[in-house]
Amino acid sequence: MATQHSRSAARVMMAPAVFLLLVWMLVPLILTLWFSTLDYRPMRGTFDCCEGLGNYTRFVTSSAFLSSVVTTLQLVGGVLLITVIGGILLANLLDQPIWGQGVVRILVIAPFFVMPTVSALVWKNMFMNPVNGLFAHLFKALGLQPIDWLSQAPLFSIILIVSWQWLPFATLILLTAIQSLDSEQMEAAEMDGAGPISRFYHMTLPHLARSITVVVLIQTIFLLSIFAEIYVTTGGAFGTRTLTYLVYQRVIESQNVGLGSAGGIIAVILANIVALVLMRVVGKNLDA
Amino acid sequence: MARAVTTRRKIAYTALAWIIGLTIFFPILWTILTSFKTEAAAIADPPVFFNFDWTLENYAVVQERSDYMRYLWNSVALAVGSTVFGIIIAVPAAWSMAFVPAKRTKDILMWMLSTKMLPAVGVLYPIRLILIETGLLDSKAALIFILMMINLPIIIWMLYTYFREIPGEILEAARMDGAGLKAEILYVLTPMAIPGIASTVLLNIILAWNEAFWTLTLTTIDAAPLTAFIASYSSPEGLFYAKLSAASTMAIAPILIMGWFSQKQLVRGLTFGAVK
């Protein structure tokens, strides 16, 4: 049992972390909340009080808001679909007895460590460029007309780039989960005549359910704030403006801080809804 | 008992796995190869794979023209600095939560996690403003602090899950033998905690190195790390594929190697201990 002495020592040891996180969270958030009620445009020198909820109404009713929410959902949904399904299949493949499994694993994980600006620029220039990109060469070799990926299919291109970055994450986590599956149970099922598909469906998938939930939620948190990939590829043009990017443009590019801050608060609220669900799942693990 | 597998099946799986693995790795391989080409060879049609005149010229040009070393140094300073300060603050906190759990420990942990989920863009302007007012915009000190704060919850969580695996009986035995709090930490816990701390350090250096929201929005010249340096290639002039590749290769190589060593820790760190 912990003594009174160690309890107070524990409190002292926790204090710096708790204090810093509290300041880090509250100060900027309160400032943002305050700014969101102002007509605050530094370039024009306006700093007028008492917009009330005007900025919120203006932000939500602008056509840019709705389309940015749709774009965000498409981006997050598309990447989740590709990475989760791809991750399940790939993790199952890597769990099979194969030669050089360690090396293949290293190859598959690699994209996760590439910094976002590098992967976005490499894909943009060396693969998706309509003249010199590898995809253009490939299309020409097949007798097809090369397409300008980032202006003809901009959102799809960004989904592709982001999925490439996150597929390793999903694969790695699902592989870790699969490897903890009881192999004796699997053998028993095999002996009882369960085919590979029914074993996958009735045993592997239920076992993976919790890990899949974790992958979906964590990726959602990160994907909601995707920034660099859009910044260096399209700069938010051609319908690739997500909610995060819209807020960035309002606040930094057009310097309408009041309006942007209202958007920021809305982004915080939306992200918190996802976060609450994630914390329930992670929290359950604390009791286990 | 391993299941009996026919050799034919193993060959098929191996082939498929290697094809997919190489496809996923290909963009990185292509970048590395291109970094050794001349600009003309880099855009050759049809593309050349290995049969070109290998050159190191791009690396020299990148360094000469853009002072690559300065960005590299900034990246190192930000990644290492934020990790070191983060660890100094997180170790005592994680230690106390793992070994002297109170009623509210779980709530505190969950709250710390929740700060990580705040979308950065929501607080971008106030933070920028504070930095401008204090003259710290585009300074390494400010970036080190910010990167430390965004990764602090992950550091604490990772350390917490590692520390919790240290058996409590050992602590009790040490206490019975009369070890005080200080001796307990120095001689019993530290040796057992070092592997966990090392993994946490590794993962956090990777995360800080690749962070690309705050580093892009809060730096211009002085504190700009490699993420910002690479972003400057998004509106280039003239032929630049080989140079972009050389710069990219240098920016990702150290982290790629570190990342391969930290596969296992990555899972634990990024799922907050929910998957081990």
pTM for this model (two decimals): 0.86
| Within a domain: A5 | no
**Between residues B37 and A288, which one has the greater pLDDT?**
B37
pLDDT number for residue B239? 66
Residue B3, pLDDT above cutoff 60: no
Question: A224 and B119: CB-CB below 8 Å?
Answer: yes
pLDDT more than 70, % of chain A = 96
Residue B136, pLDDT above cutoff 90: no
**Between residues B106 and A43, which one has the greater pLDDT?**
B106
Residue A14, pLDDT above cutoff 80: yes
**pLDDT tens, residue by residue, A116-138:** 889 998 998 888 887 788 888 88
Residue A78, pLDDT above cutoff 90: yes
Question: A121 and B153: CB-CB below 8 Å?
Answer: no
**pLDDT tens, residue by residue, A218-227:** 888 888 888 8
Contact B27/A at CB under 8 A? yes
| Within a domain: A124 | yes
Residue of B nearest to A233 (CA): B234
Residue B23, CA distances (Å) to A107, A162, B29 in order: 9, 16, 10
ipTM associated with this complex: 0.84
**pLDDT tens, residue by residue, A205-246:** 888 888 888 888 788 888 888 888 898 888 878 888 988 889
Cα(A59)–Cα(A258) distance, rounded to whole angstroms? 10
Determine the average pLDDT of the residues in B219-234: 83
Residue B238, pLDDT above cutoff 70: no
**Between residues A44 and A18, which one has the greater pLDDT?**
A18
| Within a domain: A53 | no
Residue B1, pLDDT above cutoff 50: no
Question: A2 and B25: CB-CB below 8 Å?
Answer: no
Question: B251 and A99: CB-CB below 8 Å?
Answer: no
Determine the average pLDDT of the residues in B93-111: 84
10 Å CB burial of residue A247 (0-12, 13-18, 19+) is buried
Mutate one of A121, A137, A139, A214 to test the B interface: name it (highest B CB count within 10 A).
A121
Chain B residues 74-93 with a CB less than 8 Å from chain A: 89-90, 92-93
Contact B45/A at CB under 8 A? yes
User: Which DSSP symbol is given to B134?
Assistant: T
Instruction: Give the list of residues 6+ apart from residue B7 with CB closer than 8 angstroms, or none.
Output: none
pLDDT number for residue A205? 83
Q: What is the CATH number of the domain that holds A112?
A: 1.10.3720.10
Domain ranges in chain B are 7-57, 64-270
pLDDT number for residue B12? 87
N- to C-terminal Cα distance for chain A? 21
Determine the average pLDDT of the residues in A5-19: 82
| Within a domain: A46 | no
Cα(A10)–Cα(A258) distance, rounded to whole angstroms? 42
Cα(B76)–Cα(A74) distance, rounded to whole angstroms? 35
Taking Cα atoms as reference points, which of B222, B227, B229 lies closest to residue B139?
B222
**Between residues B11 and A274, which one has the greater pLDDT?**
B11
Structural contact between residues B100 and A2, judged by C-beta atoms closer than 8 angstroms: yes
Q: How many domains does chain A have?
A: 1
Burial call A84-122: b when 16+ CB within 10 Å, e when fewer: bebbbebbbbbbeebeebeebbbbbbbbbbbbbbbbbbb
Greatest mean pLDDT range, A161-165, A276-280, B53-57, B259-263: A161-165
Residue B40, pLDDT above cutoff 90: no
Residue A2, pLDDT above cutoff 60: no
pLDDT-derived band at A162 (thresholds 50, 70, 90) equals: very high
Instruction: Give the list of residues 6+ apart from residue A28 with CB closer than 8 angstroms, or none.
Output: B123, B126, B127, B130
Residue A282, pLDDT above cutoff 80: no
| Owner of token pair 């010249």 | B221
| Within a domain: A232 | yes
Residue B95, pLDDT above cutoff 80: yes
| Within a domain: A40 | no
Determine the average pLDDT of the residues in A14-31: 88
pLDDT number for residue A260? 86
Determine the average pLDDT of the residues in B28-39: 88
Mutate one of B45, B109, B118 to test the A interface: name it (highest A CB count within 10 A).
B118
Residue A5, pLDDT above cutoff 90: no
Structural contact between residues A158 and A75, judged by C-beta atoms closer than 8 angstroms: yes
Relative to beta strand A39-41, strand A46-48 is antiparallel
Indicate the SS3 state at residue B48.
Answer: coil
Residue B160, pLDDT above cutoff 70: yes
User: Which DSSP symbol is given to B4?
Assistant: P
| Owner of token pair 């002996």 | A191
Q: How far is A211 from chain B (nearest CA, A)?
A: 7
| Within a domain: A234 | yes
Contacts of B267 in chain A (CB under 8 A): 172-173, 176
Report the sign of the C-alpha dihedral through residues A89, A92, A98, A100, in that order.
positive
pLDDT number for residue B25? 93
Interface A–B counts its CB contacts (< 8 A) at: 304
pLDDT-derived band at B67 (thresholds 50, 70, 90) equals: confident
- The domain containing residue A162 runs over which residues? 62-255
pLDDT number for residue A288? 46
Residue of B nearest to A14 (CA): B93
Residue A286, pLDDT above cutoff 60: no
| Within a domain: A16 | no
Determine the average pLDDT of the residues in B211-224: 84
Residue B70, pLDDT above cutoff 90: no
Determine the average pLDDT of the residues in A108-114: 90
Contacts of A107 in chain B (CB under 8 A): 21-22, 24-25
Average pLDDT, chain B: 83
pLDDT number for residue B164? 83
Contact B180/A at CB under 8 A? no
Architecture of the domain defined by B64-270? Orthogonal Bundle (1.10)
